[in-house]
Amino acid sequence: MRKKWLPVAAGFGLGAVMLLSSGFSAMAGTSGYDAYKTAVKNTKTVQSMTSHVDVTVTDNGTKVLSGAAVIKMNHKLQTMSMSGSMNDGKQTHEMQAFRQDGKMIFKSGDQEEYRVVAQNAAKWQHQDGTDAAPGMPKAAEQVVDALMGNIRNLATVENESDGSKQAELHLSGSQIPAVVNALGSLVASKAGSGDWEHKSWKQDAGVSHPSSEWHPSLPKLTDHIQVEQINFDAKINPDQILERQTAEISITGTDDTGKKHDLSVQIHIGLSDYNQTTPDRVDLTGKPIKEMQGDGPKRGWHH
């Protein structure tokens, strides 16, 4: 089956973020884990930051997909820039995205034109004009904590001599909740099928159909899918702000031929330049532009 690189990458990214969020939500409910919750709240209050994201996927020990991105956000200026690339071992595919002047701008590395989407301010701002980045509602957070059950007691926090903290949640076997196992199974099966394309990408950003297609060797798991191990680690700096988050997820299963696969997804997120980040801008003067219709990708939780 032919796969477009953006849906495949988005599939792994979405699944990884959901698993990462679920794990850390469980950690946040752990007795003695006030340090992590405080760090999360402090991180959300910064006006700007730079994120370095690296993702690697291996199948039976062979690297089948890797990606890296630098994301710069400035809530006060209401701007963002992202430069990323994905590699399937044969080709590297690049993409850029910018939020500037009330518009979202996208460009695939193999295309000359820039796709521009005007943003509806009501969807991006609060009524007072500030940038809107709503978090998970309290009720939803409580549901997640309840689903995680007793694994919250497995999270640990260590104080370092320089005032920083290291938070960890390492799970394997029966320690992994059924809801996380089900989510991991869904992600693994969908990623292999390449069935991640969403209507909003077509209508709002127009970036789901880059001119070139590629064929990452991602197995389509169909049976005996199991999340074997999940390791989450977070570094909190002396100012009680998140500095680094990492995750390693191991999933096993078989494809429709009965071949067994051991998938490993590794994610590293480094956060830096708090309140000192100015996102990059793109000068569209003289460049080919395609104006896209739509209100833009949806953000946040509906209240």
DSSP of the chain: --B-HHHHHHHHHHHHHHHHHHHHHHHHTSTT-HHHHHHHHHHHH-SEEEEEEEEEEEETTEEEEEEEEEEEEETTTTEEEEEEEEE-SS-EEEEEEEEETTEEEEEETT-SPEEEEE--HHHHB-TTSPBP-----HHHHHHHHHHHGGGGGG-EEEE-TTS-EEEEEEEEGGGS-HHHHHHHHHHHHHHHHT----HHIIIII--S--S--B--------EEEEEEEEEEEEEE-TTS-EEEEEEEEEEEEE-TT--EEEEEEEEEEEEE-TT---------TTS-EEEE-SS----S---
232 found inside a domain: no
Greatest alpha-carbon span in the chain: 59
297 found inside a domain: no
230 found inside a domain: no
226 found inside a domain: no
Of the chain, the percentage scoring pLDDT greater than 90 comes to: 43
195 found inside a domain: yes
89 found inside a domain: yes
Q: 208: pLDDT confidence band, cut at 50, 70 and 90?
A: very low
In the prediction, which pLDDT does 258 show? Answer: 94
* CB burial of residue 90 (10 Å; 0-12, 13-18, 19+): exposed
Does residue 84 register a pLDDT over 90?
yes
Q: What is the mean pLDDT of residues 158-174?
A: 88
87 found inside a domain: yes
Give the residue, 27 or 171, on which the prediction is more confident: 171
Count up the domains in the chain and report the number: 1
Q: 255: pLDDT confidence band, cut at 50, 70 and 90?
A: very high
Does residue 154 register a pLDDT over 70?
yes
58 found inside a domain: no
Average pLDDT, the chain: 76
The residues facing 246 across adjacent strands are 233, 268
Containing domain of residue 129, as a range? 5-53+64-221+238-292
What is the per-residue pLDDT across 41-77, written as a single tens digit (0 to 9) for each? Answer: 899 899 999 999 999 999 999 999 999 999 999 999 9
What is the per-residue pLDDT across 102-121, written as a single tens digit (0 to 9) for each? Answer: 999 999 987 889 999 987 65
Of the ranges 14-28, 91-105, 175-189, 283-297, which one carries the lowest mean pLDDT score? Answer: 14-28
CA distances to 50, 102, 244 from 75, rounded to whole Å, are: 12, 13, 20
Winning range, highest mean pLDDT, from 4-8, 171-175, 196-200:
171-175
Q: 300: pLDDT confidence band, cut at 50, 70 and 90?
A: very low
- The span from the CA of 179 to the CA of 301, in Å, is 21
Contact by Cβ (8 Å): 64, 217: yes
Q: What is the mean pLDDT of residues 227-256?
A: 92
Task: With 0.85 as the threshold, say if the pTM is over it.
Answer: no
In the prediction, which pLDDT does 212 show? Answer: 45
In the prediction, which pLDDT does 168 show? Answer: 86
Q: 144: pLDDT confidence band, cut at 50, 70 and 90?
A: low
